[in-house]
Amino acid sequence: MSKKEIRKLVKQVLSKSANLPLQSEFLVSSLLKRKEWQMAKVVAINGKTICVPKYYPTGEMVFVKLQTALEDLLIDKYGIRTEESNDKIDQFELMIVPGRAFTSCGKRCGRGGGYYDRFLEKNTCPKIALAFHQQIFDEIPTEEHDQKVNLVIFKEQ
């Protein structure tokens, strides 16, 4: 299955899934118990400096400090809520990495723009993904530029 087919399939399956709130509870609970979360002060996501991505037409992605209530954030051309501020953060102790699909060993399929792959390549902090079981695949095709995460937290069926 190609990355494009995986993205489409996961999007369809998640839009029809009724048990996402229960899975979300499990994922958040699991994350909060991890030592990486408890020790981190700056997280690219309770006592933490929260950072959100900001995308530029050049293909660059940076993270900026969240200073605005979530419901008041701007929605960018990708439909992603983003901070207007340019208070850029470069050093993280933990990154919570999104993706469309994952393998249990950390391979990741994003949305296809390569923003996170370029950013992850430059950062050495632990990278954790939270995934619904519908997002877990035995194998995902990868290319040389694709970046893995250190841990994928998901609840097995």
Residue-wise pLDDT tens digits, 28-55: 999 999 999 999 888 877 677 888 888 8
pTM value > 0.85: no
Query: Is there a binding annotation on residue 51?
Result: no
| Predicted pLDDT of residue 65 | 87
Query: Is there a binding annotation on residue 47?
Result: no
pLDDT band at residue 26, thresholds of 50, 70 and 90? Answer: very high
In the CATH scheme, what architecture does the domain 3-12+23-153 have? Answer: 3-Layer(aba) Sandwich (3.40)
Query: Is there a binding annotation on residue 31?
Result: yes
| Predicted pLDDT of residue 108 | 96
Whole-angstrom distance between the N-terminal and C-terminal Cα of the chain? 22
Closest CA to 53 of 92, 88, 100, 102: 88
pLDDT > 90 in the chain, percent: 46
Query: Is there a binding annotation on residue 36?
Result: yes
To the nearest whole number, what is the mean pLDDT of the chain?
89
Query: Is there a binding annotation on residue 56?
Result: no
Instruction: Give the β-pairing of 88-89 and 61-65.
Output: antiparallel
Rg, the chain, Cα only: 15
Asked if residue 115 lies in contact with residue 53, where contact means CB atoms within 8 angstroms, the answer is: yes
**Model pLDDT for residues 112-147, shown as the tens digit of each residue:** 888 899 988 988 899 999 999 999 999 999 999 999
Which stretch of DSSP H or E encloses residue 21? helix 20-33
Structure token digits, residue 120? 């992850």
pLDDT band at residue 92, thresholds of 50, 70 and 90? Answer: confident
| Predicted pLDDT of residue 81 | 83
Query: Is there a binding annotation on residue 111?
Result: yes
Residue 157: pLDDT over 80: no
Exposure of 124 in the CB half-sphere (CA atoms within 13 A): 0
| Predicted pLDDT of residue 46 | 66
Structure token digits, residue 96? 């919570």
Query: Is there a binding annotation on residue 109?
Result: yes
Residue 18: pLDDT over 80: yes
